[in-house]
Structure 1
Amino acid sequence: MGKDKQFSWRNWGLILELIVGGSIFFWAISRPQSNPPKITPVMTLQKSPSALSAEVELTQIAIHATPTPLPSPTAWAIATATTEIDVTPRIIYTTNPFTGLQLSDTELLERKPLLVKLLNWPRSVRPFSQINQADVVFEYYTGGQTNQLLALFYSQAADSVGPLGPGRLVDARLTQHYKADLVVSTVDTMVRGVFENSLAERVFYQGFTDCPGICTQPVDQGGLTYANTTAIRNIAETDRLQSGTPQFKVLPFSVTINKWDDVATRFSYLYADFSVMDWRYSSETGRYHLWQEVEEEDGNLQLEPSYDSDGSPVAFENLIFIMANYIEYNTSTYDINLREGDPNQLAILLRDGKLTYGTWFSETATDPFSFYVEGKPYTLKPGRSWITISSTISRPERVAEGEWDLVFKLR
């Protein structure tokens, strides 16, 4: 009885605690909240009901996006360098790059130019033989108030061009500029050394090249030496190391001239009063005709027209005088600094009886000369060109209307 009574009181106590605890709980949850708990929002990829700019929206998506695992430390693949493409224009020529004239036989353009050294002194070696078949002729001072010539044959053949002259230092430079082979009579020790170092397999000498390549007349016929360009080319193809066919850019040509500085129907180039290259323009032929001094029986000098050995007048469509630095080793040995890469070298350009002041330029030691007026290419007249290398201190002088003198000065 006593134990049952004790158990009942304990049960009633437990029931009372449950009733009081429940009452407190219901009172707590039903009481108004003056400070509601803060809830950190969770950003999802759903669009916000408020308007966001596209930039802000993308930024927030990026911030809360699942991080991308970092890549493993594998080295980046290195792309192979792209092969550079040569965009230099490649012209399939039907035009002679040196004369601007059309060629019916394009195979002529698949060969190297041939430079042949010509004598102009003493007067007894004149006239020239087949010089009119050259595409370009170079003239320069060689000492003693005299000159020599270097004729470039490209589109035409000559079976007896001459009289053949000795090699000079500047011949090596011009041969390199025009990617040519060279024909000379003889050379001195200095020049031979230069030729052997810079023109290996490209020079043909008298006495070392059999006739019909290089032939010398009997003494009773003058004893002069002449070259056959076709025979020389055949020897080059069969006996010499070939370096491939050079390609040349066609110089700008035009049948008309629209701008010039002065009239020049006569232009005299004087090494001395006894050594004159006098050019006179003919409106009938459209060319400048060469006159040279001739000694009369009484010893007086008279200017007379120069003729090729076939009787045709020596005449060219373009006359070009370029100013360059002569280097004097002695009174008969000269070199010329052609200053490759210098676009500001002076030139006098003549065609159609018109004179134009310009500049000349060669980009490298293996590029032909080009000509400019006020920075723009000068347009040559279609035809052949005679290029005289004068000195930097020589200046033209107008002596009469349309007539000019240019005296060569070395110092």
Structure 2
Amino acid sequence: MRPLLYNHAMRFSHTLVLIAALALSGCNGKSSDVSAEGIPSPTPFQPQGSAESDPLFSAPAPTPLNLPTTTPIPTEIVILPETLPEGVDVNSFAISGALNPLTGLPPADPSLLNRRPMAIKVANYPRYMRPQSGLTLADQVFEYYIEDGLTRFIAVFYGNDSEWVGPVRSGRYFDEHIQRMYQAYLVFKFADPRELDYFKASDFAKFLVTPTNGLCPPFHFLPERINTVEEYNNSYFDTVRWKDCVTNNGMDNNHPYIRNGYYSDAAPAGDLPGTKINTYYSVDSYHYWEYNSNLHLYYRYQEINDSRDGEDEFAPLVDRVTGAQVGASNVIVLFVTHTFANAYDEDDEVFQIDLTGSGEAYVFRDGVGILAKWYRTNRDQPLLLTTLGGSPIYMRPGITFYEVIGSRSYVDQGDGEWSFRHDWP
């Protein structure tokens, strides 16, 4: 098997032992950029008999979360993976209505799980429309590169509601992956004609939600910004009123079968600390997450100026609705192929981000960094994260935040601080 990270040297503050077949090259204490392409491909794996035999999970097996005794537990339903590389120790995915499968926590209201999730586009730029609304109430959030050095969020709401989510901005091809994985309504404010026409011609067209001149769908303006922010940066979605909108119009709001994730409060027995995570998309878009060991959360700090003069400036990223700083129980960095369909799309940076198959990943929870693999085992189910040995990785119950970067991105780490630099072919 080829070395774990082979293109450049990686700086470690202590000995890393993952599995005996994986060897590190160039560990000479000197820090430098490392290509993420060097993590082994999906095959061959060195299968482990169970998660307990994986070095990462040398601690006792996680115990189930305590559930309210009044919560009914329906008959278990099982989803079989459609594709799974040999050596990955997962045979089927169970479904249970007792917990929110996207957080591992009880929903704010059990009845919320009887609906279809909503995947809502949320702007991160221009900076003057911050703070955003609703990010701390989402179950899972994906951030990805759009164009011109900027990023955007797509936030999945299932177990919580928010009267204000946004500002809602335009769609991208990547959003199809999130819509399909969560079988969600895709909420966005229009798109480039190439992408919008593609969406309208797709088999998920009935799940597209865009503004109209009426009250349904429930888009609305933030009153205090009406005179200071242009309309296209002042459009918010109301997930509470969406229920009535769907019911009154006879739309499909039946809850989909979404597999349970792997969750545990028990911290993994990892060798690599991960207490600060820097992600650099461009001179205009960069941020970091810092771990709070008392609250078991990573808190987000966002750039407030570009770094063209060489100076990085940050401030806490705050949710206008809750007043809380955006935080996550799990931060997952996904390495994903970015391409263009043609020269026209390349000129406009209209990306095809291929979140199918599998790829490299890094999982951060409880102050630990885990080298991982992501798998799209089913077209209509969330991603599976495993160790390099093929055992499922248990997430901490709570919000999960995904950072999507190019497959040729670089990573450097030392003393618990990790730095990722987005790059694509």
Match for residue 145 of structure 2? 141
Match for residue 244 of structure 2? 234
Q: 2:349 aligns with which of 322, 328, 332?
A: 332
Name the SS for the 1:333 alignment partner.
Answer: coil
Match for residue 69 of structure 1? none
Match for residue 287 of structure 1? 297
In the alignment, is residue 155 of structure 1 matched against residue 159 of structure 2? yes
Q: 1:315 aligns with which of 323, 327, 338?
A: 327
Structure 1 residue runs of 5 or longer lacking an equivalent are: 1-85
Name the SS for the 1:295 alignment partner.
Answer: coil
Instruction: Quote the offset at 1:219 in angstroms.
Output: 3.6
Match for residue 418 of structure 2? 404
In the alignment, is residue 366 of structure 1 matched against residue 380 of structure 2? yes
Instruction: Quote the offset at 1:161 in angstroms.
Output: 0.8
CA shift in 2, pair 1:189/1:253, >3 Å: same
Match for residue 235 of structure 2? 225
User: Is this contact kept in 2: 1:135–1:152, CA < 8 A?
Assistant: yes
Structure 2 residue runs of 5 or longer lacking an equivalent are: 1-76, 80-92
Deviations along 1:48-91, whole A, 9 cap, x unmatched? xxxxxxxxxxxxxxxxxxxxxxxxxxxxxxxxxxxxxx975764
User: Is this contact kept in 2: 1:288–1:318, CA < 8 A?
Assistant: yes
Following superposition of structure 1 onto structure 2, how do residues 6-405 of structure 1 map, counting pairs within 5 Å? Answer: 91-103=95-107, 105-198=109-202, 199-207=204-212, 210=215, 213-217=218-222, 219-222=226-229, 223=231, 224-242=234-252, 244-295=254-305, 301-309=312-320, 310-328=322-340, 329-330=345-346, 331-339=348-356, 342-343=357-358, 345-373=359-387, 374-398=389-413, 400-405=414-419
Name the SS for the 2:381 alignment partner.
Answer: coil
CA shift in 2, pair 1:104/1:213, >3 Å: closer
CA distance in 2, matches of 1:326, 1:392: 7
Name the SS for the 2:145 alignment partner.
Answer: strand
CA distance in 1, matches of 2:185, 2:121: 11
CA shift in 2, pair 1:273/1:227, >3 Å: same
Instruction: Quote the offset at 1:221 in angstroms.
Output: 4.2
CA shift in 2, pair 1:87/1:385, >3 Å: closer
Match for residue 89 of structure 2? none
Q: Partner amino acid for 2:375?
A: F
CA shift in 2, pair 1:235/1:260, >3 Å: same
Bigger helix fraction? 1
CA distance in 2, matches of 1:118, 1:124: 14
Deviation above 3 Å: which 4+ runs of structure 1?
A: 86-92
CA distance in 1, matches of 2:304, 2:94: 48
CA distance in 2, matches of 1:243, 1:226: 21
Higher relative contact order structure (alpha carbons within 8 Å, sequence separation ≥ 6): 2
User: Is this contact kept in 1: 2:279–2:421, CA < 8 A?
Assistant: yes
CA shift in 2, pair 1:228/1:396, >3 Å: same
Name the SS for the 1:365 alignment partner.
Answer: coil
Q: Partner amino acid for 2:394?
A: T
Count residues with an aligned counterpart: 320
Deviations along 1:287-335, whole A, 9 cap, x unmatched? 1111011139xx9651121111142111110001111111232233112
User: Is this contact kept in 1: 2:103–2:399, CA < 8 A?
Assistant: yes
Q: Aligned Cα RMSD in Å? A: 2.1
Deviations along 1:111-161, whole A, 9 cap, x unmatched? 111011000011111111121000000111101111000000001110011
CA distance in 1, matches of 2:103, 2:191: 30
User: Is this contact kept in 2: 1:201–1:240, CA < 8 A?
Assistant: no
CA distance in 2, matches of 1:227, 1:207: 12
CA distance in 2, matches of 1:211, 1:241: 12
Deviations along 1:3-44, whole A, 9 cap, x unmatched? xxxxxxxxxxxxxxxxxxxxxxxxxxxxxxxxxxxxxxxxxx
% of aligned pairs identical? 25
CA shift in 2, pair 1:215/1:290, >3 Å: same
Instruction: Quote the offset at 1:382 in angstroms.
Output: 0.6
Instruction: Quote the offset at 1:376 in angstroms.
Output: 0.8
Match for residue 71 of structure 2? none
Q: Partner amino acid for 1:338?
A: L
Q: Please give the TM-score of this superposition, normalised by the length of structure 2.
A: 0.71
CA distance in 1, matches of 2:105, 2:78: 26
User: Is this contact kept in 2: 1:108–1:155, CA < 8 A?
Assistant: yes
Which has the higher mean CA deviation after the structures are superposed, 153-162 or 89-98? 89-98
Name the SS for the 2:304 alignment partner.
Answer: strand
User: Is this contact kept in 2: 1:349–1:358, CA < 8 A?
Assistant: yes
CA distance in 1, matches of 2:390, 2:417: 27
Q: Partner amino acid for 2:336?
A: A
CA shift in 2, pair 1:408/1:232, >3 Å: same
Q: Partner amino acid for 1:382?
A: P
Q: Please give the TM-score of this superposition, normalised by the length of structure 1.
A: 0.73
Q: Partner amino acid for 2:220?
A: C
